[in-house]
Amino acid sequence: MPDPTSPEPNEELNTAKQVKLENVGALSRDQLTPEAAAAPEGHDVPGHDHATRDHTGHQHPAGKQVVNLAGEAEDEHAGHSHEDGDDHDHGPAGANPYLWPGVSLALLLSGIALDYYQAGFFTGYVRLLWYGVAFLLVGWKVIRSAIQSIPSGNVFNEFLLMSIATLGAFAIGEYPEGVAVMLFYTVGELFQDAAVNRAKRSIKALLEIQATEVTVVRHGQSLVLDPKEVQVGDVMEVKPGEKVALDGTLNTTAASFNTAALTGESAPQTKQPGEAVLAGMINLESLIQVSVTAAFQDTKLSKILAMVQDAVGRKAKTQQFITKFAKIYTPIVVGLAVLLIVVPYFVVDDYVFRTWLYRALVFLVISCPCALVISIPLGYFGGIGAASKAGILFKGSNFLDVLREIDTVVMDKTGTLTQGVFAVQQVQPAAGTTPEQLLRLVGALETKSTHPIAKAVVTHVGAAAAGVPVEGVEEIAGHGLRGKVDGRDVLAGNTKLLAKFSVAYPPAVDQVVDSIVVAAVDGQYAGYLTVADAPKEDAARAVQELKADGISKVVMLSGDKDSIVQRVARELGISEAHGGLLPEDKARYVQQYLGEGRKLAFVGDGVNDAPVVALADVGIAMGGLGSDATIETADVVIQTDHPSKIATARRIARATHRVVWQNIWLAFGVKAIVLALGAGGVATMWEAVFADVGVALLAILNAVRIQRMRF
């Protein structure tokens, strides 16, 4: 069998690149954008048409149920939703789904006992009625589903096979076996529902981290509002232990937050005044105030939920293959079952119609593709759930397959491999000047600038520059600052500033690779500070793990100057790096690698990375520091901003692929054996039940195992 998991990277995947908040799959209407929520119920919701196939390949026929991630049906049906819109519910909403199967089982077992002891009354119509009630308790909805699916052209499905096989068993007097097949099929469906709900549990936790109310201070009064009613610019009050309802910036003193729901990291994060605070974080210590910077539907948490919901509808190549295969395979098996009845009439001397009809019915029961159609999507769903617990969001199961097959990883530098924050790395005073003196004078002068490098210097100097008198500050564009600090003339900027004012400095200063702040005091060179963006703690480990994981080419592309890029590359063990690039230059390199036949993932975080993220086979965005444009364009979002999660995502993708194919071969192997035994008259309905429901349950248990794996 050809490997159906080998995707053509630029075919169907590129149609699934763009994810918008409106395309939320099975989100409830109050989670939709205002425009979508205002649309007529069940129709014209962007990206989710109940009558036709949407761009994700996920279908729901008109009037059928849509099961949301909380495991709840959104209309009259309360059970499991099958492929191609076939619904199979297990009882009225709110009813115990095991009640009628339990009654049916009791009638079946008591009927078998009455048969065994040959009870005198248990014959004829009494026996038929007894088993008929047991059958209808579990089978009438299956028969109804089979009949309802015929007008839509979906004839050859599991419901039709179960109906024909069990009604046929009744027709030839095999009542107990007919009841048993339908009973075990129904119980198997119930176990499947339970397994699906378990697999959804980690993703359902995401749905529960949105705050349902928020305290807002308006005109000196505290108002408790729905987060959807809060406007950008409002000030929220968040008590200790409360969830932050909306994205914003911290107004009050430094505060600690539990960010595990967003990042998967247990260690608290401390935010300083003016820093970003995101919806879903939990305030740990004191009462704080946060200025709202994003409306409810625009928060990163809302977009994360939309991404996860949307991922459910995006099928992997394996899922698409199995769905198409089942539609071809099922009618073929039905045809073979008919031939199994007809052909022996012409070739067997002692042909008995009842015997060959029974074999054909066994053949039909075995042929049901439940184990494949149910357990394969569940395997992928388990992979998405396991990834979400690790702070990695896949926007579709198709990207699990593609990420497993990449051989090249191209990464941005700033914010991806480095922290994205400038910090003073080195203080080098001139002879006769102490580091403390240099920092005090330069730090005081830099307080008058808003440049990122100036802010880094001020942060590093801290209180040492507080209260130092600064006057007559002049900012010289492209050069730096000039002013009087504590009564002394101070220059702070690049070497062009010193040259402009004819201040001599050592030639070695020109060889410094990092960004540099050179200083002069009273016309004399006073030393320099280097400012750089430090690599993330796990950046070097991330590169090592990718190489050990079979990635043959790791590349760093950056808009930063090439000398800095090459130094960072050497520190991290990256052999190929290019600096001084514009967005179109990055795209050119990626196109070159793709042209060489490589399967490529690009990892970035900035707005300028969005085009390259879209171009790659798999686009990966850093979700904490990343821009909204890049996150929306990406196929995979790493919420923790840790590049080492790329290797973790690949391990999850491989484990998912392994489990999915274990299920495929298990189902095919067992069914092939029992089909042959059934055609030869060796296997009975009981073996057929195992080949169908038993294998499905084994495959489901194997798929659920992904949730328990450690990555």
pLDDT in tens, 145-194: 888 888 887 777 777 777 877 887 788 788 887 888 788 778 767 766 66
Cα gap 685→607, rounded to integer Å: 61
The residue out of 635, 650, 665 marking a domain boundary is 650
Q: Does residue 337 carry a pLDDT above 90?
A: no
Evaluate whether 528 touches 468 at the Cβ level (below 8 Å). Answer: no
* Predicted confidence band of residue 28 (pLDDT cuts 50, 70, 90): very low
State whether 477 and 560 are in the same domain: no
Q: Where are the beta strands (DSSP E) in 193-273?
A: 214-218, 221-225, 235-238, 248-250, 255-258, 269-271
The tens digit of pLDDT for each residue in 641-677 reads: 899 999 999 999 999 999 988 988 888 888 788 878 8
Contact 619, 517 (CB under 8 A): no
- Distance of alpha carbon 115 from alpha carbon 129, whole angstroms: 14
- Residue 104 is predicted with a pLDDT of 92
> Strands 636-638 and 392-394: what pairing?
antiparallel
| Active-site option among 87, 310, 412, 635 | 412
In a domain, 12, yes or no: no
Is the model's pLDDT at 540 over the cut of 80? yes
Cβ distance 279 to 210 under 8 Å? Answer: yes
Domain count, the chain: 5
Cα(452)–Cα(442) distance, integer angstroms: 15
**Residues 398, 544 within the same domain:** yes
Q: Quick one: 550 and 407 in the same domain?
A: yes
Distance separating the N- and C-terminal Cα atoms of the chain? 30
CATH number of the domain where residue 461 is located: 3.40.1110.10
Q: How confident is the model at residue 371 (pLDDT cuts 50, 70, 90)?
A: low
Q: Is the pTM of this model over 0.75?
A: no
Known catalytic residue at 412: yes
* Residues 427 and 564 occupy one common structural domain: no
Do residues 526 and 564 both lie within one domain? no
- Computed over every residue of the chain, the mean pLDDT equals 77
List, in order, residues 6 or more apart from 698 with CB less than 8 Å away: 371, 666
Same domain, 290 and 341: no
Residue 353 confidence (pLDDT) above 80: yes
Q: Please check whether residue 214 lies inside any domain of the structure.
A: no
Range of the domain at 367: 309-383+654-708
Residues 289 and 337 in one domain: no
Do 548 and 608 reside in the same domain of the chain?
A: yes
The answer as to whether 646 is a domain residue is yes
Asked if residue 104 belongs to a domain, the reply is: yes
Residues 350 and 492 in one domain: no
520 plus 549 within the same structural domain: no
- Select from 519, 534, 549 the last residue of a domain: 534
Residue 256 shares a structural domain with residue 315: no
Is residue 434 in some structural domain? yes
- Beta-carbon contacts of 5 under 8 Å, excluding residues fewer than 6 positions away, are 316, 317, 318, 401, 404, 657, 660, 661
Least confidently predicted of 347-361, 401-415, 673-687: 673-687
The answer to whether position 30 is within a domain reads no
Is 539 found in the same domain as 414?
yes
* Structure-token pair, residue 492: 């702070």
Check which CATH number belongs to the domain holding 248 and give it: 2.70.150.10
Q: Of 294, 323, 343, which one is at a domain's C-terminal end?
A: 294
Calpha distance 273→121 (Å, rounded): 85
Is 267 inside any structural domain?
Answer: yes
Q: Give a yes or no: residue 264 inside a domain.
A: yes
pLDDT reported for residue 250: 93
